[in-house]
A and B are shown apart, each in its own frame.
Chain A
Amino acid sequence: GQSLEQPSEVTAVEGAIVQINCTYQTSGFYGLSWYQQHDGGAPTFLSYNALDGLEETGRFSSFLSRSDSYGYLLLQELQMKDSASYFCAVRSLSGNTGKLIFGQGTTLQVKP
């Protein structure tokens, strides 16, 4: 089967660093994406890793290890507005069109 695992909840304080892990088991893996979703809103794209290593975009970084089927999202200098749900998603090329397979999401609560 295909599955992704990530922690359900994470709590941290403003200014801190938090890491959200994601392990996956899928077929036709093409890359790992991360999305942020605030309550009542739509998912917004944060980052994408197709190759092993670290990708940095401002305060957010994402890492992938394909041999370990593992990735993480690193959020630095946390701000209150970072409180949201974060989803890892595998790009799968199984089938003719490919699709995203989402994890269950991690709710991040940033406290003052």
Chain B
Amino acid sequence: GAVVSQHPSRVICKSGTSVKIECRSLDFQATTMFWYRQFPKQSLMLMATSNEGSKATYEQGVEKDKFLINHASLTLSTLTVTSAHPEDSSFYICSARLGPTDTQYFGPGTRLTVL
């Protein structure tokens, strides 16, 4: 399967600061990337869909000004959690795919802890 990387794998930050998470497709060009968050023992909740060169599409209830997504190239998307608060602490996972009918491959996830 295709390889997707995420960086950092783990981050701890103070409340009020911003954190940037990178998602890269290593061996294919991803026209679309997705960002999910997952709380312990729960399912993956889709936050937004990111298409290269265009604005992200956010799911209902997700604040686009708080979770900034940039998809600058076919291999890189970034999620910035702005003014982070403890309730933003979660496991953030990205996925990438080539086309709308193709399999999504997931990155290893980023564990965010906001103190």
Q: Which residues of A contact B (CB under 8 A)?
A: 30-31, 33, 35, 41-45, 48, 87, 91, 93, 95, 97-105
Q: Which residues of B contact A (CB under 8 A)?
A: 1, 32, 34, 42-44, 46, 49, 51, 57, 93, 95, 100-101, 103-109
Tell me whether B103 and A33 are in contact (CB under 8 A). yes
17 contacts between A and B (CB under 8 A): A30-B101, A41-B108, A44-B106, A45-B105, A48-B103, A87-B44, A95-B57, A97-B51, A97-B57, A97-B100, A98-B101, A100-B95, A100-B104, A101-B46, A102-B44, A103-B43, A105-B42
Note all chain B residues with C-beta closer than 8 A to A102: 43-44, 46
Q: Specify which chain A residues have a CB less than 8 angstroms from the CB of B32 in the assembled complex.
A: 97
Question: Which listed residue (A42, A91, A99) contacts B106, Cβ 8 A?
Answer: A42
Smallest Cβ distance from A24 to chain B, in angstroms? 14
In angstroms, Cα B106 to Cα A102, docked, is 13
Measured between beta carbons, the chain B residues less than 8 angstroms from A43 are 44, 93, 106
Contact B100 A41 (CB under 8 A): no
B49 and A99 contacting across the interface, CB-CB below 8 Å: yes
Considering the chains assembled together, what is the distance between the CA atoms of A101 and B36 in angstroms?
Answer: 11
Query: Cβ of A99 and Cβ of B103 under 8 Å apart?
Result: no
The distance from the CB of B108 to the nearest CB of chain A, in whole angstroms, is: 5
Question: Contact between B100 and A98 (Cβ–Cβ < 8 Å)?
Answer: yes
Task: Report chain B residues within 8 Å CB of A48.
Answer: 103
Chain A residues with Cβ under 8 A from B104's Cβ? 33, 45, 100
Residues of A within 8 A of B101 (CB): 30-31, 91, 93, 98
- In angstroms, how far is the closest chain B Cβ from the Cβ of A17? 25
Leading 10 A-B pairs by shortest Cβ distance: A98-B100, A42-B106, A42-B109, A42-B108, A104-B43, A43-B106, A102-B43, A102-B44, A97-B49, A105-B43
